[in-house]
Amino acid sequence: MCQANAFYSAAAHGIVFGYFAASRTDPGRNLPGQTVFTCLSHDIIAHETTHAIVDGIREFFMEPTNIDVPAFHEAFADLAALFAHFAHKEVLLDTLRKTGGRLFDLQLDPEVQIDKSPGAPAIQAQIAAANPLIALAQQFGEASGMRSGLRSALGTKPNSTDIKTKTEPHDRGSVLVAAVFDAYFTIYTRRTFDLFRIFRAGGGTTDNGDLPIPLAERLAAEASCTAQQFFVICARALDYCPPVDITFGDFLRAALTAHLDANPDDPDGVRNAFMEAFRLRGIVAYDAAAYSEESLFWPKVRHDEDFKLEVEGLVFGDPNGLTVEEQNHNGDVLRAFAKTHAFDVGLDPAHGDIQVPSFHPMFQTGQDGRLYCNMVVELVQTEERPFGDTNPGTFPMRSGVTLLIAQDPLEDGKKPAPRVRFVIQKLYSKEREERVRNYYLSSGRVPDDQGDSRKEGSRLQIDFGLLHAGV
C-alpha cells in the first residue's frame, strides 16, 4: 500500500507493508522524496511478525480491556526487534568501540573529538551519531523527518511520571521497553565490571573508543548472550501471564516467575534488576501484597494429602509437537477438567461456559540438567454484559486462568498423574466489570455490530492499521 505504515491484520491473515516518499526537507540519510519500503526494514518486519505471534499465542490480548493491553502488544513487539540487534556482531563491535563499552549511551563517540570547546564539528568524523543498538526503525524515523529512530530502547528515564501521563499505546509501551532494557544494561554492566577493572588496572582507557580487539570481542559475546537470555525471559513470561486483561504489573510477575522457574539460582541478581527497573518507572502489581520477590512470584498450588489438583490422562507429547489425535484427546480431557474443577481454579460456572482456547506443551532444561515437561493451558469464560441503557450492544466480559501443569518423573516405573503447579488468575468482579466497561466507553469502542468481538471490523479488537498509521 502507498502509505507510511505497516501492520499485522488478523482479518487478512497476514502482514501489510507500505511504501512512502521520504521527507523533502529533512530526510536524514535518504534522498529527498526517495521511496522508502517498510518491507525492507529488519525492525519493522520483526515488530509486525511479533504481533502475529503474540496473537497466535494469546488471542484475547487483542481485546483492549484496559490501557495497558495495546501498549503491551506494542512494547513486546519492540522488545523482539530491539533484542535482535544484539545478534549483529559487526554492529555490536562498532558500537562498543564508539561508546567505550557503554552500550547504553544514547550517542556514539565521534571518530575525531572536537578539541576546542565550544566548537561545532568541522568534518563528518566529528559528528556524534545515534546509538544504532537502542534505536528502532532508524530509516523510517529519519525519512519521516524525526532525525532519529522511530523509538528508543531507553525512551523513559528512571523516576519519571510517564506511566501516569502517557496513554498512546506506543508511548506507554516505551515505558515497559525502557524498564526491561534498564534491567538488561544493569546486568550487562555487572557481568563486564571485572573486565573493565582488569583493563584499567593495566593502564587501559576507554577514551576515544580505545578498546583492544580481545576486550571488544569479549564484551560483544557477553552483550549478545545477555540479550538472548533477557528475550527468552520475556518470551517465556507469556506462558505465565493471565489469558485476558493483561497489565504491565502482570507481565512483571510473569517474568519474575518464569525466571525463577527456570533459574532458581540468580547470582547476578537478574530478578532484582527487573524489579528495580520497573519500580523506578512506576510499574507495580497492585494485586501483590508487597514489592518483594516472594510477593511478586505467582503462588504455587499447594498439594497435600487432602487436596491434589491433577489432570488425569493429559498427553504431553514431545518437543516436536502434538499430533492431531493428541490435541483432540487433550481438548476433551481439559474441558472435562474445567467442568469438574471450576471452583478449584477460581472460576464460577454462573459467569458462562468455560472454554479452552489454547494449550501447548513447554519443555525446558533446568539448572540441574533435567528435562521439565509442562502444559500451558488457557481456561476462559465469557459473559455478554450490556454497555448500559443509553448505549447499544454488549461487550464480552471475560474471566480466565492460565494453568501450568507438570508431568513429574517416573515413580516405580509409572507416570504419576500430571499436577497443576500454577493457577494464574484474572477473575470476575463487579469492580473489574465496571473498569472494562468504562474503558470501552471512554475509548469509543461501543460496537456497531452488537457485540461480536471477533467479527471482522469489530471495535472491540485492536486495529493495528489505525494504531500504526503515521507512527
**CA triple 400-339-429, angle to 5 deg:** 35
**CA gap 403, 377 in Å, rounded:** 5
Q: What is the DSSP letter of 110?
A: P
Please state the pTM of the whole predicted model: 0.93
Closest among 161, 137, 131 to 149, alpha carbons compared: 137
- The low-confidence residues of the chain, meaning pLDDT below 50, are 450-451, 456-457, 471
Q: 234 - beta bridge partners?
A: none
Q: What is the 3-state secondary structure (H, E, C) of 209-237?
A: HCCCHHHHHHHHHHHHHHHHHHHHHHHHH
Q: Give per-residue pLDDT as tens, 215-249.
A: 999 999 999 999 999 999 999 999 999 999 999 99
The 10s digit of each residue's pLDDT in 322-361 is 999 999 999 999 999 999 999 999 999 888 899 999 999 9
* Domain regions of the chain by residue span: 6-113+128-296, 301-428
- Copy the grid coordinates of residue 262: 527456570
Q: Chain centroid to CA 37: how far?
A: 26
Measured CA to CA, the distance from residue 274 to residue 184 in angstroms comes to 8
